[in-house]
Amino acid sequence: MSKIESVETAPVAVLELVASLPNLPGVYRYFDANNQVLYVGKARDLKKRVSSYFQKNISSPRIAMMVAKIARLETTVTRSEAEALILENNLIKALKPRYNILFRDDKSYPYLRITSEATPRMAYFRGAIDKKHQYFGPFPSSWAVKESMQLLQKIFLLRSCEDSVFANRTRPCLLHQIQRCSAPCVDFISSTEYLSDVEDASDFLRGKQTEVLKKLEYKMLSFSQKLEFEKAAIVRNQITALSKVLHQQSMELAGDADIDIVAVVVEGGRACVNLAMVRGGRHLGDRSYFPTHLDLGHAAPIEDIEKEVMAAFIAQHYIDQFIPHQLILNVEIDVPELMLALMEQCGHKIHLSFQPQERKRAWLEMAEKGARLALTRALSEQGAQQLRTQALLEALEIEVSDTEQFRVECFDISHTQGEATQASCVVYHHHSMQNGEYRRFNIRDITPGDDYAAMRQVIYRRYEKFAAEHRDDVDSQDVMPDIILVDGGKGQVEVARKVFDELGLNTSLIVGVAKGEGRKVGLETLIFADGRAPKELGKESAALMLIAQIRDEAHRFAITGMRAKRAKVRQISKLEEIDGIGPKRRQKLLTRFGGIKGVEDASVEDLMAVDGISRVLAEEIYQRLR
C-alpha cells in the first residue's frame, strides 16, 4: 500500500490556507507547480473535506500522487451543497482536471421543434430551447429526430420547408405530390384543419397515440356524414399510417412516459456508460460514453468503481440537460445531495429505479448489452491503435517513457486554384485523434497557390509562442509534439526545417510524408528534416497505416474548412454583384441576418425590412442567392 507524508511535503502556504478554511459548503480546486488544475471537488464542509487530503498517511496511490503535486489551492464558498455540486460539475466540464473522472462534453442533443407561427413547421433543432416554440426530445441522435419527422410527414402531413420557401410558393412542392405534406403554402388545406393536424402531431410526440387515433376516427366519421368524402379519405389514410406505426411499436410503448435508462459496465481497464432514451413512450435509441481519467490501478471492487462512474455521469450529464421524471439504472447509487440539486434545477421529482419490471427491465438489459458491445469494440480498437503507435515509435526510432503521452501534430494545406487557402493542424494523442485540439489557420498575404509560403506561415504561427516561452524559460501552457508530420515532400520539409532553425527548435521532430507513384496509400516515403535517409515502410506496415490515418484526417479537416470558406466568399461576392448593393447595404444585410447564410434564408419580406432595400431589390437578392 502506497503512502505519502502529505503534511510534510505540502507547501506551507497551502497548509496555512487549509487551516483557515471555513466550515461552510463550497468547491475546492487543486493546482500543480505549472498552474495546471489537478482536481475539482465539492464539500458540505470545506475545512473538513480539504483537510482530509493532508493527513499523515494516505492509502490510495492515486490520491497520494495527486497530493504530492499540489502547489496551490483555491476555494469558492456556496450557499448550499446543491449549489456547490452544480458549480463543481460546471468547473469539471470547463477545466477538465487530471484527477477527475471526465465525460466528454458532446455537442448538445438534437430536438424536434414545432414552431409557433400562423402555419407551424416542424424542424430539426440543436441548441438552447425557449418557450416560444414546442420542443420534443432530446433525441439520442440526429437519425432519431429525422425518423420522427418522417413519421409526422407520413401521418400528419406537416410542412418542413423554410419560411422563405413557404412564403413564395405558387404551387405545391414534390412532398405534396408524394403525400407527405398537405400544402398549406397554397391553401390546399384550411388554417383550422392544419392547426388541428399540428395539435395531433404534438399529442403523438407526447405519447398520446391512442387519443389521437380516436380523434381521427371521429373526424373521419364527421366528414363522411357531411358527404366530404375526399377529406374523409385523407383522414382515413392518416388513421391507416398511424395504426401501422402503433402496431410496429406495440412492444415498445410505455404510456406517455419520458424515461432514461443508464447502464455502466467496467471491463479491461475501461468503463462504458450506455444511455437509452424513451420519449412519449417510444424507445428512441441509445448512445455510449467512455469516461477518461478513471483510476483502475488499485484494488477497489468493480461495484464501487461502477457506482463512482454512474454518479459522475449523472452529475456531469444532467447538470445542464433535460432530466426525465424517471431514471432506470443498473447500478444502485445513494447520492441524495446530487438528486436534490438536479430536482432543484428541473423543478420536478426524479424517481430512481434499480430493479424495473417487464418492459422496463428488458430496456435496461438492452442498455447493459449495448454498453458491453460498445466497450468490447472500443477495447479492440484501442488495442489495435496501441500496436500502431508502438510500430510508429519503432519505425521512427523514438523512445518515450509512456506511449499514452506520445503526441503527433500533422499539417496540410488546401485551396482551389489559390482561392480560400487554409491550413489544418490535427492532433494524435492518447492513441486516438483528438478532435477538440484541431486547429485551422486562414493563410493571408501570400501569392495564391504558393503552398511553400502557406506551410511556412502555419508552422511559424503554430510554434512561435512555444519557442518564445522556451527561450525565456517560462512554464508553457502549450505542449510540444513528439513528431510533426508535414503532408508533402522535400520542399515542404525544407520550409518547415528553416522555420524551426529560425525559432531555435529541434528539427528532428519534422517528418514529411511524400506521396508515392499514383498517390497510392502504401507507397509513401518518409522525409526527415534532420538529414536522415528517406524511409519507405511498405504497404503492410502498421506504422504507415497510422501515418496515413493522421495524414488523411489532416487533409479532410483542411478541405472541409476550405470549402466552407470558399462558399462564404463566393456568396458574399455574388451579393456584391447585384446592382444596387454597395458596401453599406451589404454590411446592413450581413449585420441584420448574422451573415451570408442568414441572408440566403431570408424571405422577400424579411429583406425588405432592412433599411434601403426596396421590394424590387429584395426580390432580386432572393432570386440571385438561390
- Give the closest residue to 202 by CA, choosing from 127, 117, 115: 115
pLDDT in tens, 113-128: 899 888 998 888 887 7
Domains of the chain, residue spans? 6-95, 259-376, 403-565, 577-624
C-alpha cell at 234: 385523407
- In residues, how long is the chain? 626
Taking residues 605-622, report their average pLDDT.
83
pLDDT at 2 over 50: no
User: 114: which strand partners?
Assistant: 122, 134
| pLDDT, position 418 | 52
Q: Does domain 577-624 have CATH number 3.60.40.10?
A: no
Cβ(293)–Cβ(307) under 8 Å?
no
Most distant pair of Cα atoms in the chain: their distance: 93
Cβ(345)–Cβ(323) under 8 Å?
yes
pLDDT at 203 over 60: yes
Q: Which residues, 6 or more positions from 453, have their beta carbon under 8 angstroms from its beta carbon?
A: 443, 446, 447
Q: Cα separation of 210 and 243, whole Å? A: 10
CATH code for residues 259-376:
3.30.420
DSSP state of 422: E
How confident is residue 5, by pLDDT bands cut at 50, 70 and 90?
Answer: very low
Q: Which residues, 6 or more positions from 230, have their beta carbon under 8 angstroms from its beta carbon?
A: none
We find that the CATH architecture of domain 403-565 is 2-Layer Sandwich (3.30)
How confident is residue 4, by pLDDT bands cut at 50, 70 and 90?
Answer: very low
Share of the chain above pLDDT 70, in %: 86
Of residues 599 and 91, more confidence is placed in 91
Taking residues 226-246, report their average pLDDT.
73
Helices (H), 157-190: 163-166, 174-177
Backbone CA torsion sign across 201, 207, 212, 213:
positive
Q: Do domains 403-565 and 577-624 have the same CATH topology?
A: no
Match domain 6-95 to its CATH number in 3.90.550.10, 3.30.1280.10, 3.40.1440.10, 3.40.50.620. Answer: 3.40.1440.10
pLDDT in tens, 525-544: 899 998 889 888 877 788 88
Taking residues 352-359, report their average pLDDT.
86
Residue 494 φ then ψ, to 5°: -65, -40
Query: Kind of pairing, strands 408-416 and 483-487?
Result: parallel
Q: How far is CA 247 from the centre of its chain?
A: 35
pLDDT in tens, 13-66: 788 888 888 889 899 999 988 888 999 998 888 988 888 888 766 666 777 788
Average pLDDT score, the chain:
81
Please count the other Cβ atoms lying within 10 Å of the Cβ belonging to residue 438: 16
Of residues 521 and 413, more confidence is placed in 413
pLDDT in tens, 402-427: 888 899 999 988 865 556 678 889 99
Query: Kind of pairing, strands 259-267 and 326-329?
Result: parallel
- Give the closest residue to 494 by CA, choosing from 522, 444, 459: 459
| pLDDT, position 250 | 42
pLDDT at 193 over 90: no
Of residues 498 and 139, more confidence is placed in 498
Using DSSP's 3-state secondary structure scheme, residue 162 falls into coil
Q: Cα separation of 92 and 457, whole Å? A: 35
pTM recorded for the entire structure? 0.59
